[in-house]
């Protein structure tokens, strides 16, 4: 990941991280005119953020009719399964806000297979985008939220997996996850995740310090390979931040 594309901000703690992320998302939404798409991430880190966005002043400031919500990846489980990324975002945010049902584009994890789910989701993304090829001048997303796993994965793009090299397909199925929960996954590929005005990584907790250090120093890890047509911003709390990057 080239340095000139990386902006890293260290904040005090998990609550400050959620607030800073909420502010960035609101700024991103305000900057976009007309219909726009936000791509959500899963795991536990964004839970505070999603819960915060469902409260004031954020909830009434979101132009819910204009914003469409997608996911960068999901576990191949029903939405009422506690491991579902879409289920988590619905529970904490989307079902608590006036988000039109047609604006919520969850991955079809009830499809017959991860491959079928990936094909269906790719069709949905292309239909929303209105073209068969992504144009770097016209990003699909206004904002893509990303996390990083302890193994350096991001979305459901795991170290050593063939999906890392996929450049044609927008969405792929992952039969075997490289980290818990060990359930099949559906994930956007790097080029699709990159089609965004801003990619925002959220990293929290001391358990991420070591892997974050490796990513930031250019380790060959999926989270380091992620890129964006627009800005890549890393929002990190002090517990996760390498010592060298602590604010004064
Ligand atoms: C997922 C996520 C994944 C996540 C990291 C970090 O489906 O698991 O999309 O990429 O961002 O695994 O997860 P935590 O926030 O739980 O550490």
**Which of 17, 43, 155, 180, when mutated, tests ligand 1's pocket best, judged by the most ligand atoms within 8 Å of its CB?**
43
**Which of 73, 147, 207, 210, when mutated, tests ligand 1's pocket best, judged by the most ligand atoms within 8 Å of its CB?**
147
Taken in order of first residue, the domains within the chain and their CATH numbers are 3-195+210-245 (3.40.50.1360)
Reference 39, options 88, 104, 95, 98; nearest CA is 104
Contact assessment for residue 67 and residue 36, using Cβ atoms and an 8 Å cutoff: yes
Give Cα separations from 50 to 25, 74, 194 (angstroms).
11, 16, 22
Say how many residues make up the chain. Answer: 248
Distance 147 CA to ligand 1 centre (A): 5
> 84 in ligand 1 pocket by Cβ < 6 Å?
no
CA 141/CA 121 separation, integer angstroms: 15
Reference 178, options 149, 219, 208, 203; nearest CA is 149
pLDDT digits (tens, 9 = 90+) for 104-158: 999 999 999 999 999 999 999 999 999 999 999 999 999 999 999 999 999 999 9
pLDDT digits (tens, 9 = 90+) for 18-45: 999 999 999 999 999 999 999 999 999 9
* Average pLDDT score over the chain: 95
CA 95/CA 92 separation, integer angstroms: 7
Distance 62 CA to ligand 1 centre (A): 25
DSSP codes of every residue in 106-175: ---TTSSSHHHHHHHHHHHHHHHHTSSS-BTTB-SBSEEEE---TTS-BTTB-TT-GGGG--S-SEEEES
- Answer with the residue of higher pLDDT: 242 or 205: 205
Atom 7, ligand 1: residue with shortest CA distance: 42
To the nearest whole percent, how much of the chain has pLDDT over 70? 96
Q: How much is the pLDDT for 6?
A: 77
Distance 149 CA to ligand 1 centre (A): 6
> 237 in ligand 1 pocket by Cβ < 6 Å?
no
Distance 18 CA to ligand 1 centre (A): 15
- The tokens for 153 are 């994965």
CA 80/CA 142 separation, integer angstroms: 28
- The tokens for 163 are 């999906």
> 135 in ligand 1 pocket by Cβ < 6 Å?
no
> 73 in ligand 1 pocket by Cβ < 6 Å?
yes
Q: Are strands 36-40 and 67-71 parallel, antiparallel or unpaired?
A: parallel
Closest atom of ligand 1 relative to the 45 alpha carbon: 15
Atom 5, ligand 1: residue with shortest CA distance: 149
Which band of pLDDT confidence, cut at 50, 70 and 90, is reported for residue 79? very high
Q: How much is the pLDDT for 243?
A: 78
Atom 15, ligand 1: residue with shortest CA distance: 45
Question: Is the pLDDT reported for residue 196 higher than 50?
Answer: yes
Distance 21 CA to ligand 1 centre (A): 16
Conformation bin of residue 205: beta by default, left when phi > 0, alpha when psi is -120 to 50: left
- The tokens for 105 are 């584009």
Closest atom of ligand 1 relative to the 208 alpha carbon: 17
Strand partners, 236: 10, 203
The pTM of this model reads 0.96
């Amino acid at each position: 990941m080239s340095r000139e594309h990386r902006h890293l901000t260290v904040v005090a703690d998990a609550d400050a991280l959620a607030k800073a992320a909420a502010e960035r998302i609101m700024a991103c939404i305000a900057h976009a005119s007309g219909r726009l798409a936000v791509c959500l991430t899963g795991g536990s880190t964004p839970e505070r953020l999603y819960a915060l966005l469902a409260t004031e002043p954020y909830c009434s400031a979101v132009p819910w009719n204009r914003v469409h919500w997608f996911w960068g990846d999901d576990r191949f489980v029903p939405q009422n399964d506690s491991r579902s990324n879409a289920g988590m975002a619905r529970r904490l945010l989307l079902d608590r806000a006036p988000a039109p049902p047609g604006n919520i584009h969850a991955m079809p994890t009830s499809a017959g297979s991860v491959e079928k789910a990936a094909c269906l989701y790719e069709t949905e993304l292309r239909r929303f985008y209105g073209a068969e090829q992504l144009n770097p001048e016209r990003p699909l997303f206004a904002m893509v939220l990303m996390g990083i796993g302890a193994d350096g994965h991001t979305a459901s793009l795991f170290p050593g997996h063939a999906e890392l090299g996929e450049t044609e397909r927008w969405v792929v199925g992952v039969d075997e996850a490289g980290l818990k929960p060990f359930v099949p996954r559906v994930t956007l590929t790097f080029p699709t995740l990159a089609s965004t005005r801003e990619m925002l990584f959220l990293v929290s907790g001391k358990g991420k310090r070591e892997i974050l250090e490796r990513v930031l120093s250019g380790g060959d890890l999926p989270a380091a390979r992620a890129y964006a047509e627009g800005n890549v911003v890393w929002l990190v709390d002090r517990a996760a931040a390498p010592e060298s990057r602590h604010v004064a």
